[in-house]
């Protein structure tokens, strides 16, 4: 019999104590410690950014600079005040166009996606794969050569094919399950680095979302929430294991 989901676990309490909007902050911190996908001065696109924990982590790592910063996109607003180097816009990832993003068309160094469908028990994995394929569509037109993608997917039908398709676009890609992932969860993160845009058949700019079968369709209401591989970031990043210093005042009710 599967163990019941524990909502208020140790990561929940750490998020509340350390000022993160949600416990999912530690998933990205652990991915960063393992792969070094983010570095100071990066321009980052954060898809499915609400409530804001990944936006917080990314903004702390990339810092302030002429082009550094995070652009968050979600159907819902952030539950926190956006950090100084962050712009959050309310939009549907399936209707998103480069012209709608701030930055004058400048490419992104990293695309993050913590998007997930509302789970209903049947076809959840297919809807999750559909979200990830939209991330790859956007990355083809928005990511700089050598850039990175981190995206959440539910293991199941379509995962292996999605991982193979991702490998065609990047020098290195693999599935990774951070320690902060709940034991009962099927979610896994595809970490892809070294974007190679010159892939046969890859569009220069992202177009409309591709047509999918009814079982794969994801409605807006169901969305929660640059040619060499990049080197790991030189500056130290906030640790997922140690306690950060100088944290902001914690929010009253993290997710």
Sheet strands (E) in 131-209: 143-154, 170-176, 187-195
Question: Is the model more confident about 47 or about 227?
Answer: 47
Query: How far is residue 255's CA from residue 251's CA, in Å, rounded to a whole number?
Result: 10
Query: How far is residue 119's CA from residue 109's CA, in Å, rounded to a whole number?
Result: 31
| Contact of 5 with 72, CB cutoff 8 Å | no
Prediction pTM value:
0.77
Please, what is the average pLDDT of the chain? 81
Mean pLDDT, rounded, for 158-182? 96
Q: What are residue 154's phi and psi, to 5 degrees?
A: -90, 130
Question: Is the model more confident about 209 or about 20?
Answer: 20
| Contact of 118 with 222, CB cutoff 8 Å | yes
For tokens 């469908």, what's the residue?
Answer: 117
Question: Is the model more confident about 139 or about 104?
Answer: 139
Residue 153 lies in a domain: yes
Residue 247 lies in a domain: no
pLDDT value for 236: 40
Residue 169: pLDDT band (50, 70, 90) is very high
Residue 7: pLDDT band (50, 70, 90) is low
Most confident of 61-65, 196-200, 220-224: 61-65
Q: Is the pLDDT of residue 184 over 60?
A: yes
What is the number of structural domains in the chain? 1
Residue 26 lies in a domain: yes
Residue 114 lies in a domain: yes
Residue 178 lies in a domain: yes
Question: Is the model more confident about 157 or about 228?
Answer: 157
Residue 50 lies in a domain: yes
- Edge-to-edge, what's the strand order for the sheet holding 43-47? 86-90, 69-74, 43-47, 108-113, 143-154, 187-195, 170-176
pLDDT value for 199: 55
Mean pLDDT, rounded, for 229-251? 44
Mean pLDDT, rounded, for 77-106? 91
Range of the domain at 17: 10-97+105-199+216-222
Q: What are residue 252's phi and psi, to 5 degrees?
A: -70, -35
Query: How far is residue 11's CA from residue 87's CA, in Å, rounded to a whole number?
Result: 26
Share of the chain above pLDDT 90, in %: 59
pLDDT value for 183: 84
CATH value at residue 53: 3.40.50.150
Question: Is the model more confident about 59 or about 157?
Answer: 59
Please, which residues have CB within 8 angstroms of residue 94's CB and are 6 or more apart in sequence? 134, 209, 218, 220
| DSSP three-state, residue 118 | coil
pLDDT value for 245: 37
| Contact of 125 with 154, CB cutoff 8 Å | yes
Residue 211 lies in a domain: no
Residue 227 lies in a domain: no
Q: Is the pLDDT of residue 139 over 70?
A: yes
Angle between helices 124-142 and 159-169 (to 10 degrees): 10
Mean pLDDT, rounded, for 221-229? 39
| DSSP three-state, residue 35 | helix
| Contact of 118 with 48, CB cutoff 8 Å | no
Q: What is the pLDDT of residues 31-46, one digit of tens each?
A: 999 999 999 999 999 9
Active-site residue set: 152
Q: Is the pLDDT of residue 102 over 60?
A: yes
């Amino acid at each position: 019999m599967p163990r019941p989901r524990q909502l208020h676990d140790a990561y929940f309490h750490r998020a509340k104590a350390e000022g993160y909007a949600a416990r999912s902050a530690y998933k990205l911190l652990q991915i960063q410690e393992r792969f070094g996908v983010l570095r100071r001065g990066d321009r980052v696109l954060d898809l499915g950014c609400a409530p804001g924990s990944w936006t917080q982590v990314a903004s702390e790592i990339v810092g302030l600079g002429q082009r550094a910063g995070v652009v968050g996109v979600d159907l819902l607003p952030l539950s926190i005040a956006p950090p100084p180097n962050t712009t959050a816009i309310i939009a549907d990832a399936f209707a998103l166009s480069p012209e709608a993003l701030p930055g004058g068309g400048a490419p992104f160094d990293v695309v993050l996606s913590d998007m997930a469908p509302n789970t209903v028990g049947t076809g959840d994995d297919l809807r999750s794969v559909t979200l990830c394929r939209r991330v790859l569509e956007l990355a083809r037109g928005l990511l700089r050569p050598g850039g990175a993608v981190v995206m959440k997917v539910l293991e199941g039908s379509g995962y292996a094919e999605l991982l193979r398709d991702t490998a065609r676009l990047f020098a290195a890609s693999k599935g990774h399950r951070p320690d902060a992932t709940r034991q009962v969860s099927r979610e896994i993160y595809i970490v892809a680095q070294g974007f190679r845009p010159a892939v046969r058949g890859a569009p220069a700019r992202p177009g409309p979302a591709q047509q999918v079968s009814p079982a794969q369709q994801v409605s807006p209401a169901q969305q929660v929430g640059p040619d060499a591989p990049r080197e790991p970031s030189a500056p130290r990043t906030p640790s997922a294991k140690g306690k950060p210093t100088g944290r902001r005042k914690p929010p009253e009710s993290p997710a």
